[in-house]
Amino acid sequence: MSKNNANLETNKKHVPTETDSSSLKGTFIFTMSIGLFIVLSWSAIFFLFLNRM
Amino acid sequence: MHLHRYEKIWLTFGIGSLIIFLTVLGVSAFAMGHQPPSHMAKVDPQNVRSEAPFDEPGLRQIDETTYQANIIAMAFTYQPNKIEVPVGSTVRFHVTSSDVVHSFTIPNTNVNFMVTPGHINMAEHTFTEPGTYLVLCNEYCGTGHHHMQMTIEVVE
Ligand SMILES: [Cu+2]
């Protein structure tokens, strides 16, 4: 038991420093792509409807 | 509350599209009178032929260019099976079913709706091109479903 605890203590030195996980760049690109897809498909159907009036 | 710059952008985009969508919907519903085809008009599905307007199925002229077509859909035909209107006419279709769910579909137009028993299903279309228009049932309604059709003649 005490031996394990000692190991944990030493491992603490290797705790990684703060990475860039808070970047929202990928999320942003993906969100806007989905948004663009929805807007384009909605508009296409809406203009088809208007053309057939 | 702290919002990331990107979050602000996509929230603005999302809320903006919601507003545009609801505006389009509101204008078409309240200003232009668009409604779901089955709306709230009801008819007794057991006695479709005994009361107006389906006691006399067919075409009725409302004014110079407007007609009302009262049509009964049934397995596997429509009654009447053929109507004729002059080009430029606006036809209001009032369709009900005397049995199961059918549909009333004129390809390449906005007339494409379910015909549900017990409801008077409505749609309106202005025929600007002369010709023969096919009407199809696109709700599977039984073994003769693929024979279920009628025609609209639009004449000069
Ligand atoms: Cu049918």
The pLDDT tens digits for A17-49 are 655 667 888 999 999 999 999 999 999 998 999
- Of B21-30, B34-43, B66-75, the poorest mean pLDDT is in B34-43
What value does the CA radius of gyration of chain B take, rounded to a whole number of Å?
20
Residues B112, B116, B117: CA angle, nearest 5 degrees: 150
A38 CB neighbours in chain B (<8 A) are 17
Can you tell me the distance from the alpha carbon of B62 to that of B94, in angstroms, rounded to the nearest whole number?
A: 13
Q: How remote is the C-alpha of B79 from its chain's centroid?
A: 16
pLDDT surpassing 60 at residue B69:
yes
Interface TM-score (ipTM) > 0.85: no
Residues 106-145 of B with CB under 8 A from A: 108-110, 126
B36 is written with which tokens?
């779901």
The pLDDT tens digits for B88-116 are 999 999 999 999 999 999 999 999 999 99
Q: pTM (2 decimals)?
A: 0.77
Can you tell me the distance from the alpha carbon of A48 to that of B110, in angstroms, rounded to the nearest whole number?
A: 9
Q: Given the structure tokens 């039984």, which residue do they identify?
A: B142
Exposed / middle / buried, residue B115 (Cβ in 10 Å: 0-12, 13-18, 19+): buried
Q: What is the pLDDT of residue A9?
A: 56
